[in-house]
């Protein structure tokens, strides 16, 4: 018996010697200038709280303000980068592993979602098996199989009673598929699985997600009853009840505007533009980025292609007439030479 008490004290499940499995005590939650900075800036910072064991703590704030990161940091799942916190006697961020042993996660979307392919009974058995394998004392693994199954069954029944989930009221009883559960029933199932390891701190995320006002009131009543049993409860919500210890996270900081890119400077001209051939406005050359465009080209890119074309035609006719006159002069010279020979 003495050896069992020592094992229980090492696992952090009991406040003093003589404690039993049915009487877990909560963990105090204290933080000072607690903050976490990620690649995109601060997820949260400047958090301060001093809550006694068995308190109902609500993390309140708009979506995207770091509520989930704060919950995971206080339960040892994320490492803070500023300040410190104390969960029980364990100081964060140094004792993250010790905090994980005494803190359990209820429904946290994206972290410990329920397996939609399992039935409710299978999900509970899996939770009990994992708790016995990783959280329970080593001596429990040496007990006879029948005794282990009986203890697991009793632990499941107690967790279901505390969570307020009646398996007989489900459409197919324990064989009901997890995917067929209503949102409130899924929350109760997640809470029951988390309570299997008798945690000192129970954490839940997005508590009021997809819940009506009446269902939200039922969930808060459930969490108050768990806190009254001695377990500290940490819940993320958009609107906290009046009787909770409230931790508020601020609105997300706007991203810094990107600096405008400097306009590209135009390239310097390669050299002075070549002077145009000829005179007059029609023969002026166009210069684009230091390159002179020749006038009178056959491509017709300049607006004065018509006039240049006329000049070219006139040159061609002049050359043609000159060639004809040369031919006539040559013929006359030949005739004179032949007459001289005669």
pLDDT at 219: 95
Q: Would the pTM of this model clear 0.85, i.e. be above it? A: no
pLDDT digits (tens, 9 = 90+) for 115-150: 999 999 999 999 988 876 555 566 666 678 788 888
What is the biggest distance separating any 2 CA atoms in the chain, rounded to whole angstroms?
Answer: 157
pLDDT at 301: 44
pLDDT at 282: 42
* Dist CA 296 CA 311 (whole Å): 8
pLDDT at 12: 36
pLDDT tens string, the chain, 342 residues long: the values are 334 333 333 333 333 333 333 335 799 999 999 999 988 899 999 999 999 999 999 999 888 889 999 999 999 999 999 999 999 999 999 999 999 999 999 999 999 999 999 999 999 999 988 876 555 566 666 678 788 888 889 999 999 999 999 999 999 999 999 999 999 999 999 999 999 989 999 999 998 888 999 999 999 999 999 999 999 999 999 889 999 999 998 765 554 555 555 555 655 555 555 555 544 444 444 444 444 444 444 444 444 444 444 444 544 444 444 444 454 455 555 555 555 554
Show the tokens assigned to 339.
Answer: 């007459």
* Dist CA 168 CA 302 (whole Å): 91
Q: Are 245 and 76 in contact (CB under 8 A)?
A: no
What are the extents of the domains in the chain?
25-248, 271-342
Q: Are 232 and 28 in contact (CB under 8 A)?
A: yes
Q: Are 318 and 324 in contact (CB under 8 A)?
A: no
* Dist CA 107 CA 235 (whole Å): 10
224: which residues sit within 8 A by CB, 6+ positions away?
56, 243
pLDDT at 232: 96
The hierarchical CATH code for the domain 25-248 is: 3.40.50.300
Q: Are 251 and 234 in contact (CB under 8 A)?
A: no
**Closest of 16, 39, 43, 31 to residue 99, by C-alpha:** 31
Angle (CA) 309-313-317 rounded to 5° is 170
């Amino acid at each position: 018996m003495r050896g069992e008490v020592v094992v229980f004290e090492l696992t952090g499940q009991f406040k003093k010697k003589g404690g039993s499995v049915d009487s877990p005590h909560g963990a105090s939650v204290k933080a000072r200038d607690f903050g976490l900075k990620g690649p995109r800036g601060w997820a949260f910072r400047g958090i301060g709280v001093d809550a006694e064991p068995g308190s109902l703590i609500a993390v309140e704030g708009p979506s995207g303000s770091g509520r989930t990161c704060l919950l995971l940091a206080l339960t040892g799942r994320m490492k803070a980068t500023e300040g410190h916190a104390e969960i029980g006697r364990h100081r964060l961020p140094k004792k993250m592993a010790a905090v994980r042993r005494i803190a359990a996660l209820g429904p946290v979307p994206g972290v410990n979602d329920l397996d939609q392919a399992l039935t409710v009974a299978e999900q509970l058995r899996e939770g009990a098996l994992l708790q016995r394998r990783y959280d329970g004392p080593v001596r429990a693994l040496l007990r006879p199989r029948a005794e282990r199954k009986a203890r697991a069954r009793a632990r499941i029944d107690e967790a279901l009673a505390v969570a307020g989930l009646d398996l007989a009221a489900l459409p197919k009883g324990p064989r009901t598929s997890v995917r067929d559960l209503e949102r409130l029933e899924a929350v109760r199932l997640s809470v029951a699985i988390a309570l299997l390891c008798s945690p000192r701190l129970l954490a839940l995320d997005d508590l009021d997600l997809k819940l009506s006002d009446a269902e939200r009131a039922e969930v808060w009543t459930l969490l108050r009853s768990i806190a009254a049993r001695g377990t500290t409860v940490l819940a993320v919500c958009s609107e906290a009840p009046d009787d909770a210890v409230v931790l508020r996270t601020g609105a997300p900081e706007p991203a810094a505007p990107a600096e405008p890119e400097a306009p590209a400077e135009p390239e310097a001209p390669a050299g002075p533009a070549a002077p145009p051939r000829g005179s007059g406005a029609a023969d002026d050359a166009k210069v684009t980025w230091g390159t002179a465009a020749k006038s009178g080209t056959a491509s017709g890119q300049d607006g004065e292609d018509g006039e240049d074309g006329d000049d070219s035609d006139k040159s061609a006719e002049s050359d043609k007439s000159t060639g004809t006159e040369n031919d006539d002069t040559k013929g006359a010279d030949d005739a004179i030479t032949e007459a001289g020979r005669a």
